[in-house]
């Protein structure tokens, strides 16, 4: 999945553009899952091509006060994480010193950079925009983020600029891809090293390599899998003081690239906001998730039982609580094999296909026992259902009046599916369609 990053100094209209790009899709996703959304990350689609959008401005602290250093970080972040960068400037204000500074950084980048001139909504402004050739970034696109005019051409250009990625080899398709994600210092590196051995975790870092993420194949305890590492994550050490702040953003590519995310949390700190954001990213991308509570060796067993701890985490996961949670220690290597087994299990569950006959046999009984509530005196009838042949589990139920089947009933169906088949750690989608 391609990633588009929006950069630019504060108040040029980055967020308005961001909201415009993600709007249509977000509306759909939100009504289904009801999860809180991240202001700075979303899914978009244009001409049938899906991509992710990041408003890097939102990730940079104090970006309302203008700090050149902060903008620099924002741009570096975009350079690391994105496939295409949209650089937004404002025709009303013309080229500011800050724009110059950003352009200087972007001129060095080999990734496609699209210069987007905002607030161009008449012929006069169109003429004024010519000034932006002086930024040395070549062709520019004019648009007006408020009305949306011009965004279509900009999006055409974005799609055209996506890199052509090599088809994955047969082996890459078959092997599960796992990404180890989590807050800084949660113990991700320790976990990886404990699992596969330091010497085996050799990442070739060739300058100018076009591969944006590195899958390294491993063979451990009889399991074969790829660990996903990304350019962005390897670069994290450069911004040590901002690690906390960037960790969610840095996880985006790894998560999108993986089948299952191994979310490492620090037992001594608990499940916090950053953990929640990363979890939400994985869930939103319909990836499998396993939660590993690491550093369990440091927790006083008398004060906190695994069951209490687990319960607290599950409360934070609402409504998606059917997730494996394991207590591990990368230091003492406790339960690492269990963790890997659980991860592989989630991968398999995510791929399982339930035979239509079996699915109907079970679900129609479940529906009969507790049918959708009547609305306006009308009875909803569901006579047939099936799993769709999609990459992630999706189920469709055919009804005479699908519009009357509401969220709570869909949750009931989902819970019943989860009770009868193992989808632990796997997000699933339920659709009600006209029969």
Q: Does 188 bind ligand GDP (CB under 6 A)?
A: yes
Task: Looking at residues 11 to 30 of the shown chain, list those that interact with ligand GDP (rule: CB under 6 A).
Answer: none
If the CB atoms of residues 46 and 201 are measured against ligand GDP, the closer one turns out to be 201
Q: Does 295 bind ligand GDP (CB under 6 A)?
A: yes
Task: Looking at residues 373 to 402 of the shown chain, list those that interact with ligand GDP (rule: CB under 6 A).
Answer: none
State the binding string over 315-354 for ligand GDP (x if CB under 6 A, else -).
--------------xxx-----------------------
Part in contact with ligand GDP (CB under 6 A); list of ranges 5-13, 116-124, 169-177, 295-303: 295-303
State the binding string over 190-209 for ligand GDP (x if CB under 6 A, else -).
x-------------------
Least gap, CB of 301 to ligand GDP (angstroms): 14
If the CB atoms of residues 9 and 295 are measured against ligand GDP, the closer one turns out to be 295
Q: Does 112 bind ligand GDP (CB under 6 A)?
A: no
Q: Out of 189, 306, 392, 394, name the contact with ligand GDP by CB under 6 A.
A: 189
Phi, psi of 434 (to 5 degrees): -65, 135
Closest to 233 measured CA to CA, from 268, 201, 199, 269: 201
Least gap, CB of 192 to ligand GDP (angstroms): 8
Task: Looking at residues 235 to 294 of the shown chain, list those that interact with ligand GDP (rule: CB under 6 A).
Answer: 294
Q: Does 306 bind ligand GDP (CB under 6 A)?
A: no
Task: Looking at residues 143 to 162 of the shown chain, list those that interact with ligand GDP (rule: CB under 6 A).
Answer: none
If the CB atoms of residues 332 and 390 are measured against ligand GDP, the closer one turns out to be 332
Buried b (16+ CB within 10 A) or exposed e, 60-86: beebeeeeeebbebbbbbbbbbbbbbb
> Interface with ligand GDP by CB under 6 A: which residues?
182, 184-190, 294-295, 297-298, 329-331
């Amino acid at each position: 999945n391609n990633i588009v990053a929006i950069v630019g100094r504060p108040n040029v209209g980055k967020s308005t553009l961001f909201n415009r790009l993600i709007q249509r899709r977000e509306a759909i996703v939100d009504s289904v899952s009801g999860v809180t959304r991240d202001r700075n990350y979303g899914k978009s689609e244009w001409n049938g091509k899906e991509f992710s959008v990041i408003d890097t401005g939102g990730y940079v602290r104090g970006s309302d006060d203008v700090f050149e250093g902060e903008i620099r970080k924002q741009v570096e972040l975009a350079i690391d994480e994105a496939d295409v960068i949209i650089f937004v400037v404002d025709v009303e204000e013309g080229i500011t010193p800050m724009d110059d500074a950003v352009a200087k950084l972007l001129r060095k980048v080999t990734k496609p950079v699209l210069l987007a001139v905002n607030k161009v909504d008449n012929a006069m402004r169109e003429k004024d925009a010519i000034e932006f050739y002086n930024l040395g970034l070549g062709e520019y696109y004019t648009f007006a983020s408020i009305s949306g005019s011009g965004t279509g051409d900009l999006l055409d250009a974005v799609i055209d600029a996506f890199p052509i990625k090599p088809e994955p080899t047969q082996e890459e398709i078959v092997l599960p891809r796992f990404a180890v994600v989590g807050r800084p210092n949660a113990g991700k590196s320790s976990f990886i090293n404990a699992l596969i051995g330091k010497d085996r975790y050799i990442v070739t870092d060739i300058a100018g390599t076009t591969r944006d993420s590195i899958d390294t194949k491993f063979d451990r305890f009889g399991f074969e899998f790829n660990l996903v590492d990304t350019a962005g994550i390897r670069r994290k050490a450069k911004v040590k003081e901002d690690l906390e702040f960037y960790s969610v953003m840095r996880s985006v590519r790894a998560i999108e690239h993986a089948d299952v995310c191994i979310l490492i949390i620090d037992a001594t700190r608990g499940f916090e906001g950053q953990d929640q954001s990363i979890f939400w990213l994985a869930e939103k991308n319909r990836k499998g998730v396993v939660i590993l509570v690491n550093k369990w060796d440091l927790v006083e067993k008398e004060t906190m039982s695994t069951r209490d701890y687990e319960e607290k985490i599950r409360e934070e996961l609402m409504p998606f609580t059917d997730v494996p949670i394991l207590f591990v220690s990368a230091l003492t290597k406790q339960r690492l094999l269990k963790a890997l087994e659980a991860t592989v299990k989630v991968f398999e569950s995510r791929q399982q296909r339930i035979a239509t006959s079996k699915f109907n046999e079970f679900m129609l009984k479940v529906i009969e026992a507790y049918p959708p509530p009547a609305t306006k005196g009308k009875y909803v009838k569901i006579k047939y259902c099936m799993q769709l042949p999609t990459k992630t589990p999706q189920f469709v139920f055919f009804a005479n009046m699908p519009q009357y089947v509401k969220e709570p009933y869909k949750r009931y169906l989902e819970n019943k599916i989860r009770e009868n088949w193992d989808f632990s750690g796997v997000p699933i989608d339920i659709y009600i369609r006209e029969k």
